[in-house]
């Protein structure tokens, strides 16, 4: 099985990445204005915005959890860690503190006892766009990998019912 990409970027890190992008944009605009003058202000603003968006996107892209057959890689822009599958004691699909559905792995030992893989809005209807399609595929891929690894998953009944009814994802079965 190929690697499954997942992960949730916390709000504090999202804010940091956006701030870094804005600082890069401001810095480039200021540098270009200082070096070349105000004559091409619109061009410098476009250049700064493009660079800021590029830096922000690169930071978000680097922040990922990747599940493979051998281990779980947890990466952020300036650090990386590998979690062996032996540390995973179970998974759960529950409501998080923002009333979103969160799929998390429970770990034993180490500094972190939970690894959030997905956080999605509640499913209330069939797939209606690219976002829903991607999230449905992620849930299916993660569910299949956890089934292969024989990791028990606890799913709230209302989440299982909605996934089964709207996204045609069967609830996990005990082996």
Whether 70 maps to a domain, the answer reads no
Whether 96 maps to a domain, the answer reads yes
Whether 175 maps to a domain, the answer reads no
**Residue range(s) defining the domain that contains residue 102:** 78-167
At 75 the three-state DSSP class reads: strand
Whether 68 maps to a domain, the answer reads no
What digits encode the pLDDT tens for the residues 75-113?
A: 988 889 999 999 999 999 988 888 899 999 999 876 668
pLDDT for the residue numbered 110: 63
Number of separate domains in the chain: 2
Task: State the pTM of this model.
Answer: 0.77
Whether residue 84 sits in one domain with residue 47: no
Strand 71-76's sheet: what is its strand order?
Answer: 4-6, 64-67, 71-76, 79-84
What digits encode the pLDDT tens for the residues 14-30?
A: 999 999 999 999 999 99
C-alpha–C-alpha distance, residues 97 and 156, integer Å:
15
Contact 49, 25 (CB under 8 A): yes
Whether residue 92 sits in one domain with residue 138: yes
Whether 73 maps to a domain, the answer reads no
């Amino acid at each position: 099985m190929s690697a499954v990409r997942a992960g949730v970027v916390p709000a504090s890190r999202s804010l940091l990445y956006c701030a870094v992008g804005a600082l890069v944009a401001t810095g480039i605009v200021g540098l270009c204005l200082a070096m070349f003058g105000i004559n091409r202000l619109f061009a410098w603003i476009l250049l700064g915005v493009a660079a800021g968006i590029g830096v922000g996107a690169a930071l978000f892209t680097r922040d990922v959890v990747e599940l493979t057959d051998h281990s779980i890689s947890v990466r952020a822009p300036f650090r990386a860690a590998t979690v062996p599958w032996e540390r995973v004691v179970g998974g759960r699909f529950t409501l998080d503190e923002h009333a979103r559905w969160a799929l998390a792995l429970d770990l034993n030992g180490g500094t972190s006892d939970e690894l959030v893989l997905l956080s999605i809005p509640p499913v209330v209807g069939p797939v209606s766009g690219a976002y829903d399609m991607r999230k449905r595929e992620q849930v299916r891929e993660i569910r299949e990998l956890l089934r292969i690894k024989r990791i028990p998953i606890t799913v709230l009944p209302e989440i299982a019912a909605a996934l089964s009814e709207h996204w045609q994802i069967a609830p996990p079965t005990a082996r």
